[in-house]
Amino acid sequence: MQTMPPRHGATPEELLRNLPRIDSTIPMYVDGRWTLADEGGTRDLVNPATGERIAVVAEGSDADAQRAIASARRAFDDGPWSTVSAHDRARLLLRVADKIDEHAAEFAKIDTLNNGKPLREAEYDVADAANCFRYYAGLATKPHGQTFDVPAPSQTFTVREPIGVCGQIVPWNYPLLMGVWKLAPALAAGNVCILKPAELTPLSSLRLASIFEELEFPPGVVNVLLGAGPAVGAPLAESDHVDKIAFTGGTTTGRAIMKAAAGNLKKISLELGGKSPNVVFADADFATAVDYALFGIYANSGQVCSAGSRLIVQDSLHDRFVAALVERAKKIRVGDGFDPETEMGPLISRTQMDRVESYIKIGRDEGATLLCGGTRLEGPLGEHGNFIVPTIFDAPDPKMRIVQEEIFGPVLAVQTFTDEADAIRLANDSVYGLAGAVFTQDVAKAHRVIRKLRAGITWINTYHPTYNEAPWGGYKQSGIGRELGTYGYDAYTEVKQINVNLDVVPSGWFSE
């Protein structure tokens, strides 16, 4: 396993120069103002590749959540945002996209500094974020209603209207992109937003807030609330003044949000966990299947909800395929995300690294065969950063925990199947249903199997491509609702039925 020294290229202070400071602390953005936490709380942020402190940010509490809720409520109910036309909303969102492009290198470096991912991955995220704003800017002015042929003298039609105040809670694995996936459709539809980034990775969300400030979005239309989930996320889910919660994260937290949201029956969108199958038939293009099996699990260090963490290989191909996979996995260059040679970065935190290591021990204890990896990175980087090397288990028992439970790290469990029916059975043997893929050169078989997979996002002879135009979400315990595409826009709207009487005379239903 190759190790490399960190190559930052710039100090944290230089990379974060465009973020405001109050008493050396980076504040949150509420009601159009940069503000410290009401109770004075702060949090140290750490570069997961080096262990060095990179910034101090405000750490909010319930009082800060209530301030953000009140601000958003005013902005929606009484502020000018409700009177801004779809055309003007679209114009503003296009300007946001242009600003992201203008500062693309800065955004990418901030996410690499804060999250640890290789810079090339962060650059893709930033480009997708800008394009997401452009997509929804275009969608904002398109038709969104229906008319109905009903008996005269009535005319009946529907319109889509914004839901109102939207609380949006995003994870740490795609700090900028996950926030934009929620902000762009919500704002395009005319909502106001309270974005709560993950407490470990708020920096690119705060930089985005500075763009909203620069473009003079009305106060309260976009708030960036900092703090831990129980302290500021839970109040958003519980508040009767919040009309919708959109959450991406773990299934356990998703259940808690569902319960809290029942208070005022608020709308919810939940994009939760996954344990996604990657099915490889013996007739697959060998080199392509190996390549995407690696990409499916080791992109973003396996910290991807849709990661192909269960590799299901046909028995006649198993030995050859796994041997090639192990050989390639051992060559993956693990290191600091700023190093251009790095192919896989660190895990987000010591806590996450400990979690992944616990699952590696569970796999060994359950009798799975460790084929490669299973250890921390050696050398100077491994001493300070949160690195686990690419790990592969042969896991013949489908009930093993490393097969059934989401690990969220660079750990792959390999299973074996005999025929098409067996492959489908193994692929669907999960409480999750987020994603899945099939590799085969038999087009008919590919479509048969894909149609049988109980998953919301599927691929044939590829893995991981995501498009703003297409819906994102899962079956079963992988969530409720869809993001992206027209589905993502609709999820931030209410449908209103309007009936018009074209013959304005008394009905005569009751006698005079």
Q: Residue 162, Cβ neighbours under 10 Å: how many? A: 21
For residue 333, what are the contacts with CB-CB under 8 A and spacing of at least 6?
2, 4, 341, 342, 343, 344
Q: Are the CB atoms for 333 and 2 separated by under 8 Å?
A: yes
Pairing type for strands 244-248 and 165-169 reads: parallel
Interatomic CA distance for residues 132 and 126, integer angstroms: 10
59 included as an active-site residue: no
The secondary structure of 165-225 as a DSSP string is: EEEEE--SSSHHHHHHHHHHHHHHTT-EEEEE--TT--HHHHHHHHHHHHTTPPTTSEEE-
Interatomic CA distance for residues 295 and 286, integer angstroms: 14
Find, among 130, 114, 116, 122, the residue nearest to 202 by Cα: 114
CA distances to 76, 240, 480 from 70, rounded to whole Å, are 10, 11, 27
Residue tagged active-site, from 305, 372, 406, 483: 305
The secondary structure of 24-70 as a DSSP string is: TBBPEEETTEEE--TT--EEEEE-TTT--EEEEEE---HHHHHHHHH
Pairing type for strands 53-58 and 493-501 reads: unpaired
Q: What value does the CA radius of gyration of the chain take, rounded to a whole number of Å?
A: 24
Residue tagged active-site, from 199, 238, 271, 357: 271
271 included as an active-site residue: yes
Interatomic CA distance for residues 223 and 34, integer angstroms: 10
**Active-site amino acid positions:** 271, 305
